[in-house]
Amino acid sequence: MQILSNRGPTTVPPVGNRCASRFATSACAGRTLFAAAQSAVRRLSAWFARARTRRQAVEGSPVAGRASGVILAVALAVGFALRLQMYLLDRSLWLDTAALALNIVDRGYAALFGPLGVGQMAPVGFLVASKFVGSLFGYSEMSLTLLPFLFSVTALALFLRLSIDALGLVRAPLAFVPFAACSTAIYYAGEFKQYASDLFFSVLILWIAYRALRERRTMRWALAFGMAGVVSVWFSHTAICMLAGAGLALFLNALEEHDARRMAVLAVAGGVTAGHFLALYLLQIRPSVVQGMTETWSMGYAPVWPLTEGTLGWWIRRLTGYPEYPLGFHGFAARLALPALAVGLGFACGDRPRRAVVYLLFFPMAVLVVLSVLHAYPLMTGHYDINARFVLFTVPVGFILLAKGIDGVASLFPRPVLIGTGLVVLMVGTAVHHVRGLPGSMRQEMRPLVAYLYENEAPGDAVYVYKHAIPAFRFYTRNRAIPFDVGTTVVPGELPSDLSRVIGGKRIWAVISHDYANNHEIIKRELEVRHGRVFSKAFPGAWLLLSLPDRTLR
């Protein structure tokens, strides 16, 4: 067929010919893309082969082994010293820790198996053990934080063993050095909460699972895994995530090897552990959940549908925030850690002979995500340390993946040990800088405040206690009670009416702590308006105000 144009008649090919031509063009483009993909895969495989060769060469180097041993020993000593420093600070208890301590002090052993009060939740084993220690040494701050400190330093030593087993002696510093300097783990070595226990049992379960995979033909590690599962659920609520993930990895490995005996042992251990956890859930965990907890946790519940900009933003914030909290990297190191984690997961997945190890690293994190999607457990990262406590138990998996990523990238270059060590030093440098500020963080010194109040209180004085200061005030006045008016709000606009309920004699004291909105300034101004001059005495993270000053304070 011909058509007329400015250039004369033009022949138009039939429709069938045009379709055939387009198909041929598309097929040619497809072949080109497929060839390019094949070339990229071959190059990547060659890189991986060179990386494996370099890693094997490094593993056989006695110099590298001795150097790694020295680095591990120094990191262990420094990590222990940092945790000991947090423990010896002997900080006053604050809102949450004081509320948990009141549950232990005010209850007998049997009552600890039921739901807790004051909006608290903790594993039964942790509560019973803490009460036993308190009954022996008294309910001081150092007695109450003794268990968290012991769990923290034991987790440090056990993770050293896990790093060597999972990565080898030469590469173990890539995971252990950041773990030793992890600010979130260090902080909870001196905090009366169960999160150091979560971390210890997470490391223990992961280590036993690694040994069970490595020594497949022996039953003792499968039995040890079952025993650890039964014990861990009494001391850690989050142990169920690690147990479910690691147990599934071990079971699939036994299934692939047609080991019916190991499958039977793991199935029985899983059933017993699940029974224990279900009993604890019905007796204590579920009744302890209050509205305030669910409101706080709702920020960590993973959205799935509808797939909106807000949903995608939530996942991006959680992924990009994970290197900062709970892993403890900051600034450029946090931005460097995220691709290193992705590369580590890629190298782990590419190691087909050790596919069970991939299961072991992936399944616990998958269980956490599923629980978050089901609104059963919050997935919080990228916030300050207090919110990172919910995912502290995942840091052993995170640091092992990070080490695999750093090692995989470094192995592509001629001097992998030097490059890998340099990357770790750069990243840990930002973590250590943040650790330096930990001793001053979250200090709310109610203990010296109460001592000062005991010394200066006079008959007829009224005492107003800010709402968030009530648990700590009650704990430190439990042996010598001071009548006080209960604060009912932390909303700045409602504080004046809340203070109007205080009917005092000649003077009014105001006790404030856990104040992140400068409410102590609002309370001070309100007292000045009503009573004239107000004296203020500040403590780290706490304030004591006195109105109607008819005598000079000492």
**pLDDT of 463-481, one tens digit each?**
999 999 999 999 999 999 8
Angle value at C-alpha 235, between 173 and 439, nearest 5 degrees = 55
Q: How far apart are CA 522 and CA 530, in angstroms?
A: 13
The strand pair at 508-513 and 542-547 is best described as: antiparallel
Residue 52 has pLDDT above 60, yes or no: no
Q: Helix 239-256 vs helix 260-280: angle between axes, to the nearest 10 degrees? A: 160
Selection from 201, 210, 100, 208 nearest residue 145 by Cα: 100
- In single-letter form, the type of residue at position 50 comes to R
Pair 164, 400: CB distance under 8 Å = no
pLDDT band for position 527 (cuts 50, 70, 90):
confident
* Residue spans per domain, the chain: 2-53, 60-440, 446-547
Listing DSSP states for 158-224 in one string gives: HHHHHHHHHH-TTTHHHHHHHHHT-HHHHHGGGSSSTHHHHHHHHHHHHHHHHHHHHTTT-SHHHHH
DSSP 285: I
pLDDT digit string (tens) for 335-371? 888 888 887 777 666 655 567 777 888 889 999 999 9
Q: How many Cα atoms within 13 Å fall on the side-chain side of residue 363?
A: 21
Q: Report d(CA 422, CA 296) in Å as an integer.
A: 39
Closest CA to 465 of 479, 482, 480: 482
Mean pLDDT, rounded, for 203-221:
84
Instruction: Please report which confidence band the pLDDT of residue 112 belongs to, taking 50, 70 and 90 as the band edges.
Output: very high
Bigger pLDDT: 281 or 413? 281
Q: Check if the beta carbon of residue 110 is closer than 8 Å to that of residue 187.
A: no
Instruction: Please give the C-alpha separations between residue 431 and each of 77, 310, 332, in angstroms, as whole numbers.
Output: 17, 30, 11
Q: With 80 as the cut, is the pLDDT of residue 245 above it?
A: yes
Q: Give residue 11's region: left, alpha or beta (phi > 0; psi -120 to 50).
A: beta
Question: What is the band of 517 on the pLDDT scale with cuts at 50, 70, 90?
Answer: confident
pLDDT band at 516 (very low <50, low <70, confident <90, very high): confident
User: By C-alpha distance, which of 269, 79, 248, 62 is closest to 158?
Assistant: 79
CB contact set of 157 (below 8 Å; sequence gap of 6+): 76
Give the pLDDT confidence score for residue 20 in this predicted structure.
54
Strands of the sheet containing 485-486, edge to edge, are 485-486, 462-465, 508-513, 542-547, 534-539
pLDDT at position 552 is 45
Helices (H), 458-518: 470-476, 495-499
307: amino acid identity, one letter: L
- Residues with Cβ within 8 Å of residue 546, at least 6 apart in sequence: 456, 507, 508, 509, 510, 534, 535, 536, 537, 553
Place of tokens 């190691």: 351
User: With contact defined as beta carbons under 8 Å apart, do 401 and 344 qualify?
Assistant: yes
Distance CA 228, CA 468 (A): 38
> pLDDT digits over 368-387, tens only?
999 999 988 888 887 554 56
Is 2's pLDDT higher than 70?
Answer: no
Q: According to the model, what pLDDT value does residue 44 have? A: 57
Instruction: Find, among 425, 343, 323, 339, the residue nearest to 51 by Cα.
Output: 343
CA–CA distance, 99 with 411 (Å, rounded to integer): 50
pLDDT at position 553 is 45
Say whether 405 sits in a helix, a strand or coil.
helix
Give the mean model confidence (pLDDT) for residues 384-393: 75
